[in-house]
Amino acid sequence: MAWDTNNKNDWSNASLQKYLNGEYYNNLNDSAKNMIGNTKWYLGAKGSFERTAATHYYDERMNAGYRSYVSNIGLMYPSDYGFATSGDCLNLYLSENSLNDYSQDKCKSNNWLYLNLNIYEWTISPYRDAGYANNIKPEGNLNAGHKSSMAEVKESKAIRSSVYLKSGVTLANDIGTGTKDNPYMLSLQ
């Protein structure tokens, strides 16, 4: 899917945002809807891949006039992806290296958000140039912008919805192990 079929990079009006918070959300069962919180999504971004996870986090929240949008469903931030790695890679990327270096095997193999599906994946953050949005490359590093209207097969973009759970959501009694075949189960207290 395109980030925005009108080739803009304003998440509050993006076609993907409208789909996720409309048709997609409305097709969830009531139990799932009751666990999802209405959340402020921060829409600031510098648009440079040569930034650390920490600087992306700051930019997402403080840049571009501190823009935000409230809705139920969004996409991951570049900083989410950057902070999802572990060990030496995380320590380096907090202070000196950029998300552009995340294609290194030591970063990809320790990043629980890396899909290894040979596909680009949209993030919620716009790129600094109008009509562009940031995404994660198949190689595992941040791509500093593709046209937000791009959805053609040669450069398909994966969409992984992101939500914030309400404070009363807990692990159910039969919690599972967190694997694909035995996932964690949630309940609303």
156-175 per-position pLDDT tens digit: 678 889 999 999 999 887 77
- Pairing relation of β-strands 186-188 and 68-71? unpaired
The answer to the question of residue 170 being in a domain is yes
The answer to the question of residue 135 being in a domain is yes
For residue 113, which of 90, 140, 74 has the smallest C-alpha distance? 140
CA–CA separation, 117 vs 114, rounded Å?
9
Lowest-confidence segment of 12-16, 92-96, 130-134, 137-141 by average pLDDT: 92-96
pLDDT tier, 142 (very low <50, low <70, confident <90, very high otherwise): confident
- Pairing relation of β-strands 68-71 and 132-136? unpaired
The answer to the question of residue 50 being in a domain is yes
CA torsion angle 122 62 79 132 (round to 10): 20
What is the value of pTM for the model shown? 0.83
Tell me, what's the pLDDT at 91? 56
Tell me, what's the pLDDT at 101? 57
Tell me, what's the pLDDT at 104? 67
What is the total residue count of the chain?
189
Tokens of 141: 């590093």
The answer to the question of residue 6 being in a domain is no
The answer to the question of residue 98 being in a domain is yes
The H helix count followed by the E strand count for the chain is: 7, 10
Domains in the chain, number: 1
pLDDT at 88 over 70: no
The answer to the question of residue 94 being in a domain is yes
The answer to the question of residue 24 being in a domain is yes
CB-side neighbour CA atoms (13 Å) of 64: 22
Range of the domain at 103: 11-188
The answer to the question of residue 3 being in a domain is no
